[in-house]
A and B are shown apart, each in its own frame.
Chain A
Amino acid sequence: MSYSKWMGSQKSDNNHAATDANQNQEQERPITSSLRETTDSIRKLLGDNDDFNTHEFHVFGQFQAMMYYFTDMTDHTIINNTILKPLKYGPRHIDVEDIPISQLKDTLINDTLYHSEGYAESSLSIITDSILRGQTVIAIEGLPEAFIFDTRKISHRSIEQPATEQVIRGSREGFIESLSTNISLLRYRMQTTDFRVKSMEIGARTKSKVAICFMEGVTNPGIVEEVKKRLSAIEIDAILDSGYLEQFIEDNHWSPFPQIQYTERPDKVVANILEGRVAILVDGSPLALIVPTVFSQFYQTAEDYTERFLLMSGIRLSRLVALVFSLVFPSLYVAIISFNPELIPTEFAVAVAGGRAGVPFPAVVEVLVIEISMEVLREATIRLPQQVGGALSIVGVLVIGQAAVAAGFASPITVVIIALTTIGSFATPAYNAALALRILRFPLIILAGTFGLYGVMVGLILVTNHLLSLRSFGVPYLSPFVPGNFQGMRDLLTRAPLWKMRNRPSFLYTLDQSRLGDTKKDQVNHASEDIISPVQPDGEKGQ
């Protein structure tokens, strides 16, 4: 038994997730044929809501019926035209005068209703659930089942370019909060029979719909099973964003490095699914999760593949350099200045010494102070609206930095180094990975100030060993670099041409390895002459 129980504590076990208080008892109860009882039970469950409506009417002029819906979530046009109208008038080809009650349900579903997604249901919990989702329920006196129709209509923002993942060349669509729209954005890009979407509900009070998307025949089934297993184990009352899911299903909760990637772009999700990964989407969140994740994904963008390979390889390398810079640059500076100034070429060393002449603090303290103020400035600019925020970032970096130098408690080279580091951290496309490196900078600076270059090496060894022991859903975090895999390295530092990347990443152990067809020659090698000729088509030279 738990320690608190053994101590005689009165608190009960805190293991039950929060659930709707009423739902527990009413779980499996079916509704009865009596309309009044049905109305009373629904009203009791839903409580006193001013936006909940009931509408009484007659079906075919004879049977008494009641319609239940939330006014703000339903599409009244659909209700009026496809449900109420046919119910009140009845089909033309059937004589509605003498329909016995036993045939009523079949007549309604098969002949009368214009709505394409209606079905009958008798469980009270499902009925109230549907009403809560914006669907309309119609109960008829004498029938033991009620009819449920999907009439959900919630205003959404339009599909626009994601703010955090902008590209020059590539699609400008981003996910929005509605899960069905997001899935449609994925489906139209993958119009194949193998694309699978499995959904589940997580969150006892929010009952958020979560969809798992993968490609059957490509994705290793072990990954899909593991994802399902981890998601089913979650018992919480609210899932407000995919970030909540991420924190439950990740492998190592203490590591600063993210083990799950998130994105707002459908084309990125599709590309990852085709490589053998699994995507998780949550209703209400525009960010999709992609598992399993390896470190090399954090400096790749969708644009790397839409542009030509030589140029994008260079740009990817520069991104990687910026990423490493944002981690070690300040600590290297502190180590060299404090412990090994002999490393700096003599002419430059004079300039550095001159700049640092009036500064009262040792290099460590100076760098730490400026770093911390930089972080505070960054947080501040996020909260400000567009017009004020833009000006503040320029003001912050340049003017305050200059003022600090002029005031004498910072040296100019420190400001340059910190500014370069911050800009370098923006070059990392993935915000969560950039965050990890930002945070890790500080212990490295302290180690550098204490032990010099040796301290930097010790810090880097610790960070690297941590990365090497991390796994994301069973895949080592630094694949394909370690364990070494030459085929995977084609997409690691540089991007090989599309026709050279024959196989999917091997560390995902996909069921179907090859991406390309076999005839390479015709796909890629094209003759440049003999396509258009100055000679006339019928063979005579032009006059």
Chain B
Amino acid sequence: MDQQRQITVLQASAITISTIVGVGVLSLPLAAVRAADAGAPLVTLLGAALSILASMLIVWLGMRFPNESYIEYSEKLIGKGLARTIIIIWILYFAILSSLIAREFGEVVITAVLRNTPLEVTVIVMLLLAAFTSRKNIMTFAYIHTFYIPFILVPVLLIVALSLKNADVVNVLPLWGNEPSGIVKGFFMLSTMFQGYFIMMMVIPSMRSPKKAMRSIWLAMLITSILYVLVVSATVSVFGAEETKKLLWPTLELAKDTSLPANILERLDAVFLAVWVTAVYTSLFSCYYFTIYSIGKLFRLQDHGMLSFFILPFLFLLAMLPQSLVQLNEINALITQFGVALTIAYPGLLLLVSLLRKKRGNQKQ
């Protein structure tokens, strides 16, 4: 199993970044302006801060048990029965999250790109892609995320940079927006956008030196926060807060307005979407893999590859359940907020128990 313990600090950061940056990039500015008007960048920053704290919680917990999967140490800390119940809820949450990602992806594609394709086809293609790749081992998982990172980060930064020629600073002033009260209500919602850090729970047992896991999560959250704040600032400064509230996917509209210098290519949204596919694929892949990994560890299976096709029909059915885009967004908001609470509360509980009972895992490499 030594071969399976080779994930470096940089690879762990890459995994986290590509899990976080996904389908949420498109609707991120909308959530931000709904919460705080022109104070959207600020509320994004606050949401990022909260999620950084939550992620540090998870990583600290993981570092105390560097050689065990989170299922094993949960059972050790709070007993088998309670741990298993909570973990089943946990697994259900991530399965639903995967199906929500696939569904939102399908909605964007059939609305913006392939107008005549049925929704089922786009959803099933994306789920199949994730299912096929989930059969591989964790080193391939790390390689895939490491490979796609530049292809995700560079285009987003490029779009942000190119759009600034239409930007107007007035749109992002005042910094705390015209309704500061919204910030307090809204930043929890924003922190759901950064939810991908849960993947560190799976990555830490396979890292080459788990002691450095904190470094990788700081790097990852720093990069993601800066990226998201930039995206929100660019969108709001180009469109203004009121107009952004009317756009369903503001980042996509931002890409539509952008063109390469000297008009080499116009209407870059098609290109942006093509690249965004990789971002969604990596996040969906992470969620899918995490779900299968958890089920495998829960039932003490040796190899979780066969589960990947087993859960595919369930996820597909879950993805097709919301009846419309509106319902999808409502469900999304609810579930992700519940999820953030879960991912803060449960590791927090485990950490507390671990500190109180002074239990640590076997620290040997």
Contact = CB atoms under 8 A, between A and B. Distances in A.
B266 interface: yes
Interface in B132-171: 132-133, 136, 139-140, 142-144, 146-148
B271 A469 contact: no
A476 B281 CA distance: 22
Contacts of B142: 483
Contacts of B144: 464-465, 468
A454 B11 contact: no
B6 A462 contact: no
A481 interface: yes
Given A451-B114, A453-B274, A342 B129 contact: no
Nearest to B262: A345
Contact of B11 (A339, A453, A458, A483): A483
A317 to B, nearest CB: 16
B19 to A, nearest CB: 16
A461 B113 contact: no
Contacts, number: 81
A299 B326 CA distance: 50
Contacts of B125: 451, 458
Interface string A184-213: 000000000000000000000000000000
A478 interface: yes
Interface residues of A, number: 24
A481 B132 CA distance: 23
A339 to B, nearest CB: 7
Nearest to B11: A483
Contacts of B6: 483
A282 to B, nearest CB: 31
Nearest to B6: A483
Contact of A484 (B10, B114, B267): B10
B143 A483 contact: yes
Nearest to A476: B143
Contacts of A451: 114, 117, 125
Contact of B129 (A339, A452, A458): A458
Given A468-B143, A483-B8, A462 B129 contact: yes
Contact of A343 (B129, B271, B275, B281): B271
Nearest to B140: A469
B264 A345 contact: yes
A457 interface: yes
Chain A interface helix/strand/loop/mixed: helix
B114 A343 contact: no
A218 interface: no
Interface residues of B, number: 36
A476 B264 CA distance: 38
B147 A482 contact: yes
A481 B271 CA distance: 24
Given A478-B143, A478-B147, A482-B143, A454 B113 contact: yes
A206 B13 CA distance: 54
B120 to A, nearest CB: 14
B271 to A, nearest CB: 7
Interface string A15-56: 000000000000000000000000000000000000000000
Interface in B93-121: 109, 113-114, 117
A457 B270 contact: no
Contacts of B117: 451
A364 to B, nearest CB: 15
Given A454-B114, A482-B147, A345 B8 contact: no
- Among all A-B residue pairs, the 7 with the closest Cβ atoms: A457-B277, A340-B270, A453-B274, A469-B140, A468-B143, A482-B143, A342-B267
Interface of A: 339-340, 342-343, 345, 451-454, 456-458, 461-462, 464-465, 468-469, 476, 478, 481-484
24 contacts: A340-B113, A342-B270, A343-B267, A343-B268, A452-B114, A453-B113, A453-B271, A454-B109, A454-B114, A458-B129, A458-B277, A461-B129, A464-B144, A464-B148, A465-B140, A465-B144, A468-B143, A468-B147, A469-B143, A476-B139, A478-B147, A481-B147, A482-B146, A484-B8
Given A456-B274, A469-B136, A478-B143, 15 more contacts: A339-B114, A340-B270, A343-B265, A343-B270, A343-B271, A451-B114, A451-B125, A452-B114, A453-B270, A454-B109, A454-B114, A458-B129, A462-B132, A481-B147, A483-B146
